[in-house]
């Protein structure tokens, strides 16, 4: 799991699939998504809990964007106990960061236009 790292050119979804394959290869599994009513699985064993915790932590630590990585950690993405939930936290955080950047760019543009109007 030390080699789990997102490359600059690798989309987040592909990186997530890479992480999902680790529990499968170790005959382990992710915690079930409670919103999936068709899933009726038993609780995870101690070994599965340990493996999953390691994979989730490695998944977040391996994110290419260090700024996103820190934000995800602040939102509990590395300690949430589920790979699918960690991925969801990463996607939501990534979306929020992108929206914030867009708003900041729009505000900067408005300030720029306002200064130009003051000069005229």
43 falls within a domain = yes
54 falls within a domain = yes
Domain of residue 49: give its range: 12-92
Exposed, middle or buried by CB within 10 Å (0-12, 13-18, 19+), for 51?
buried
Q: Which pLDDT score, from 0 to 100, does residue 37 have?
A: 47
Average pLDDT over residues 3-17: 94
Average pLDDT over residues 86-94: 97
Q: Which pLDDT score, from 0 to 100, does residue 2 have?
A: 66
20 falls within a domain = yes
pTM of the predicted structure, to 2 decimals: 0.81
Give the pair of three-digit tokens for residue 109: 């543009």
2 falls within a domain = no
pLDDT of 113 strictly over 50:
yes
Rounded Cα gap, residues 71 and 90, in angstroms = 9
Residue of 54, 102, 93, 53 whose CA lies nearest to 70: 93
118 falls within a domain = no
CA atoms within 13 A on the CB side of 41: 12
Report the number of distinct structural domains present in the chain: 1
Neighbours of 30 (CB within 10 A): 23
Average pLDDT over residues 79-87: 94
User: Residue 4: pLDDT band by 50, 70, 90 thresholds?
Assistant: very high
Give the pair of three-digit tokens for residue 66: 């260090």
pLDDT in tens, 14-73: 999 999 999 989 888 998 887 654 444 568 899 999 999 999 999 999 999 999 999 999
Contact between 86 and 60 under an 8 Å Cβ cutoff? The reply is yes
User: Residue 115: pLDDT band by 50, 70, 90 thresholds?
Assistant: confident
């Amino acid at each position: 799991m030390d080699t789990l790292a997102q490359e600059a050119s690798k989309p987040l979804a592909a990186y997530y699939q890479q992480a999902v394959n680790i529990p499968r290869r170790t005959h382990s599994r992710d915690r079930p998504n409670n919103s999936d009513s068709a899933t009726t699985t038993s609780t995870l064993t101690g070994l599965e809990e340990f493996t999953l915790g390691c994979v989730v932590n490695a998944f977040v630590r391996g994110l290419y964007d260090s700024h996103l990585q820190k934000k995800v950690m602040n939102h509990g993405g590395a300690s949430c106990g589920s790979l699918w939930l960690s991925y969801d936290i990463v996607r939501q955080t990534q979306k929020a960061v992108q929206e914030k950047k867009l708003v900041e760019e729009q505000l900067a543009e408005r300030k720029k236009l306002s200064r130009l109007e003051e000069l005229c």
